[in-house]
Amino acid sequence: MKIHPSILILLLFVASGPWLTSCASSASRKQAAPASSRSVGEKKSDGKSVKATDDLDEYTAASIPDPLQPLNRVTFWINDGLYTVLLRPISKGYEFVVPEPVRTGVHNVFENVRFPVRLVNNTLQGNFKRAGQETGKFLVNTVVGVGGFGRPSDHIPALADVPDADMGQTFAKWGIPHGAYLVLPVLGPSSLRDTVGMAGDYGLNPVNWVTIVYGGYTWTIAIPSANSLRTTHRQLGVYDAAIKSALDRYLAMRTAYAQYRAEAASR
């Protein structure tokens, strides 16, 4: 069969198209796509599409409806004061008394114990591969990492980079939208959907089972308190980073939360 040269050139050009337009492999592209590139004509987790019209429009961020803004702003400023007056000094004290390697170890232990939250949510999302990876991580860190104090799973490529899973994310994957943005007292930014999810995760976290089962005894407060201390220390760091150098701290926090959750839902 004789092929006309112009057709052959066209076929060759089409065949080499992917070579010319993408240097990185499709696998790396998929892995690399950040939230920011989602804004260029992709769909957000809540189903609303964001389309780029020119280079000035493409940075439209994921957002959450905020009909309760006046109330949320009041709660935000009360929380901000509470963090400054009470939680930040406690967190500083924790940082001063407990050396960094121990803080990391304590964090690892509580994160390891939180395994059922990730296992159940990965399963509910139908992501059985990740559920399996989480189980592997839990076993390796519990046995080799001495009760989860160390994270030897970080050195095993198949277990090193498993994304976190929670119930708010599960709801998002099921197509349930945020509803409305909520600033919760003390806990900070959330949404109607994520608050319901948080309640579910609370029940799945073994750290809270002690209080639920032995609620009458004072000693049961110790474990959840230690957990709160380590999460507060870390979350204050995230909070400070999000509002640092902001023009409007409330909006900065809300946008950061919306983007963070959209990214979690896309993983």
Partner 1 sequence: MNFRLLLIPALLLLLGGTLCASTAEVEKRLQTAVNEVLAIAEKSSSPSALAESLRPVLQKSLSFSAMTRRAVGPGWRQFTDDQQKKATQFFTTLIIRSYSSKFTPGEYPAITYKAASTPAPGRVEVPTTVLYQGSRYNVTYRLEESEDWRVTDVVIEGVSLIANYRTQFDAAFKSGGSESVINALSQSVTNPK
Closest CB to partner 1 among 220 and 228?
228
SS3 83: helix
Is 157 a binder of partner 1 (CB under 8 A)? no
Is 262 a binder of partner 1 (CB under 8 A)? yes
List the structure tokens of 156. Answer: 């095993």
Closest CB to partner 1 among 22 and 225?
22
Interface residue with partner 1 among 90, 104, 176, 205 (CB under 8 A) is 104
Residues 216-235 that bind partner 1 (CB under 8 A): 234
Q: Can you tell me the distance from the alpha carbon of 250 to that of 256, in angstroms, rounded to the nearest whole number?
A: 10
**Strand (E) or helix (H) holding 184:** strand 181-184
Percentage helix, strand, coil, to 5, in the chain?
Answer: 65, 5, 30
Closest CB to partner 1 among 20 and 97?
20
Whether residue 244 contacts residue 253, with contact meaning beta carbons closer than 8 Å, is answered with: no
Question: CB of residue 124 vs partner 1: minimum separation in angstroms?
Answer: 21
Q: Can you tell me the distance from the alpha carbon of 222 to that of 175, in angstroms, rounded to the nearest whole number?
A: 38
If one counts every other C-beta atom within 10 angstroms of the C-beta of residue 259, the result is 19
Interface residue with partner 1 among 112, 121, 170, 259 (CB under 8 A) is 259
Q: Can you tell me the distance from the alpha carbon of 224 to that of 148, in angstroms, rounded to the nearest whole number?
A: 17
SS3 189: strand
Residue type for position 42: E
State how beta strands 188-191 and 181-184 pair: antiparallel
Contact code string over 4-33 relative to partner 1, x by CB under 8 A: -x--xx--xx-xx--xxxxxxx--xx-xxx
Is 255 a binder of partner 1 (CB under 8 A)? yes
Tell me, by CB under 8 A, how many residues bind partner 1: 62
Question: CB of residue 224 vs partner 1: minimum separation in angstroms?
Answer: 21
Closest CB to partner 1 among 217 and 248?
248
List the structure tokens of 172. Answer: 């998002």
Is 42 a binder of partner 1 (CB under 8 A)? no
Binding site for partner 1 (CB under 8 A): 5, 8-9, 12-13, 15-16, 19-25, 28-29, 31-37, 39-40, 55-61, 63, 100, 103-104, 107-108, 154, 161, 234, 237, 241-249, 251-252, 254-256, 259-260, 262-264, 266
